Amino acid sequence: MINLLDLDREAITTLIADKPYRGNQVFQWLYQKRIDDIARMSNLPKELRERIASQAVIAYPSVARHQVASDTTEKFAYRLADGQIIESVLIPEEDHWTICISSQVGCAMGCRFCCTAQLGFRRNLTPGEILAQVFMPMRRYPERLFRNIVVMGMGEPLLNYANVVQAVRILSDEQGPDISTRRITISTCGIIPRLGSLWGDTRAGLAVSLNAAMDAKRTALMPINAKYPLPQLIQALRDYPLPPRRRITIEYVLLGGVNDGPADAKALVKILHGVRCKVNLIPFNPWPGAPFTAPEPEAVLAFQAYLKARDFSVLIRRERGRDIQAACGQLAGGASDGMG
């Protein structure tokens, strides 16, 4: 059976090729009204609803676990049709919410500071499994304003490129959710071959997990750097075709005594020369068995001050949901708390 959530507008229209004008109606039921039952598509003839239902379903994952942190951050563990578990996080902001979603079950990148890496790679998520992480909170909390979507959860989005691109296109479709691509950010550890087409395919924001400005140190922290070395990655970012007011977000996880010193800050300023970017500093969020510790608060502030003094836009990312293992780098599909 086809999951309708895996289909974009063109594919839905193809599914009912003899009545193509109905494709937009089906698309709107799915992605504007976010229904989960084909029988509820009340402006479609009963015969057509039955025909679609004989070929397809609207399949959402189930909620395996829901946790609320002391700071009101929420973490959902979703059980997929094959039993795999993924995690997604709802982050409260002043007047809206951000949804952090996963793109893979597990991850193959092996970054030493990331809990998801402990799982290894299991499989890619389908477009529908990616989209469900956005629509399920919207259905559950219709009163909330969900404004930003960040593909920063489990997995490397650019290694599930086609499905992530399709999900972004559906999210931004004017006939569907109509979420501005300015509100969608895709985070990558630096899969260089995909960077050349990402902007043209999505118009989404780009965040790059850098975490070290020295090649050998980055390779020690992030094995992918051996395949796509730092100098090549930085050149790809300089060449990235952003419009004038957009910036690449550089994500830098500060690890206590590892990459948080004055020499590291100096190297970061040097290597980012010519890259139109802003920098997010992320103090390491420990997880059970992690080989690193959080940086000293003084080191974080000194690192920020060094970059600011050299005209960088720098934000220290506030810790969110750490007490439920929902902070950056802590998602593990429930493995860290006895699930999955």
Catalytic residues: 87, 328
Burial readout 214-241 (b: 16 or more C-beta within 10 A, e: otherwise): ebebbbebbbbbeebebeebbebbeebe
How many of the other CB atoms lie within 10 Å of CB of 123? 14
β-strand pairing of 85-92 with 97-100: antiparallel
Kindly calculate the radius of gyration of the chain based on its CA atoms and give it in whole angstroms. Answer: 21
Phi-psi category of 29—alpha, beta or left, where left has phi over 0 and alpha has psi -120 to 50? Answer: alpha
β-strand pairing of 62-68 with 146-151: unpaired
Alpha carbon distance 261, 306 (integer Å): 10
* Residue of 289, 285, 290 lying closest to 318 (CA atoms): 285
* CA distances in angstroms from 61 to 106, 175, 261, listed in the order given: 17, 24, 44
* Residue of 47, 3, 48 lying closest to 23 (CA atoms): 48
